[in-house]
Structure 1
């Protein structure tokens, strides 16, 4: 073995020893509040990836869509047609607010979605609930951020994971969350005149 190989092996052994030591102190489990936010693409996609992991582990889960409910998305088709026994799916929204142009209707849809979300989260047999694009409903104040935070803090069962997606997550939600990821925009095809495409955006 060359000297370079020896150095690499020694370096990896040190890293492994440090990682093993760190992992010994990480034994706890709890239901997490997870926020995917930021202007970049991938917030909902990441949330749906977690839902698919739950399904692969045989864990009951649920999705409530707050905005994209009017869309025929690939995620919705996949989950409702193939995994309905493990994943409940509720499309509550009617589109982005500039599409409906009816604030009262948007508020009613958001509140109905939040009511369904609370029912699902309270059900301790459901291990993960994805609240897709709820941050948009919170941003427009269709829902009360203090009510949402208080519910997640006080009523979420200890082992239930809740994932909240959408840009512009409010600070009280970020403070409450156990895991927050902010998606950044580096480059997006929409800026070059490319429309949203099946399999990529929906």
Structure 2
């Protein structure tokens, strides 16, 4: 069936618009560098910071890229991501749960600080290994916020010692300004609505 004159004009305008957009996109992409390891921050009060980080870990696994996770808070929690990564993908992803729970559970600042330092030492070792392409530092921002780790030291390490092709993802609310400034990619999760405020506890498959 032949196009009407109006439909033909709309299709022609659309094709011309898309051609201009493609040309502009091609010019933009021509100036981009091929490969570079990124410092990525997921922060904000909204849900999804760790989930986004683990999504990136799964992408690495799909590309057969060695990766690693260091958890700074959840510790001994039996989480779905921990089960999946250790049971199915342990050959590609190292998983280190270094935390001992939230500070209101341990109620011991010295113990929390020692756990955070152990986690940071493990993180440094993993990041320094050029064979590992991505390291997820899950909820490290919580340790930074509470002064359990020195934000300036973390930023300096990422700037000075991270191998050039290694991606590092740091999650947790209240990321320090120095980290945000140093990062290549920062996403802030905005809280609009959360079931916890309606009396609903964390759900398997959603929170853990």
TM-score range, shorter chain: over 0.9
The answer to whether structure 1 residue 165 and structure 2 residue 171 are counterparts is yes
The answer to whether structure 1 residue 40 and structure 2 residue 42 are counterparts is no
The answer to whether structure 1 residue 192 and structure 2 residue 198 are counterparts is yes
> What is the rounded CA distance, in whole Å, between the counterparts of 1:100 and 1:148 in structure 2?
24
The answer to whether structure 1 residue 115 and structure 2 residue 121 are counterparts is yes
> What is the rounded CA distance, in whole Å, between the counterparts of 2:144 and 2:190 in structure 1?
20
Deviation at 1:11, TM superposition (A): 2.0
> What is the rounded CA distance, in whole Å, between the counterparts of 2:48 and 2:154 in structure 1?
23
Show the counterpart of 2:36: 30
Larger Rg, first or second structure (1 or 2):
2
1:147-169 deviation digits (Å, cap 9, x = unpaired): 11111111111111110000000
Q: Which runs of 5+ in 2 are unaligned?
A: none
Q: How many positions carry a matched residue from both structures?
A: 202
Deviation at 1:5, TM superposition (A): 2.7
Show the counterpart of 2:180: 174
**TM score, norm. by length of structure 1:** 0.96
> After alignment, is 28-37 or 118-127 more displaced?
28-37
Deviation at 1:30, TM superposition (A): 1.2
1:61-113 deviation digits (Å, cap 9, x = unpaired): 00000001121111000000000000000000111111111111111110000
> What is the rounded CA distance, in whole Å, between the counterparts of 2:126 and 2:147 in structure 1?
22
**TM score, norm. by length of structure 2:** 0.94
Counterparts of residues 9-88 of structure 1 (less than 5 Å): 9-88=15-94
Match 2:142 to one of 124, 131, 136: 136
Structure 1 stretches of 4+ with a deviation exceeding 3 A read none
Show the counterpart of 2:100: 94
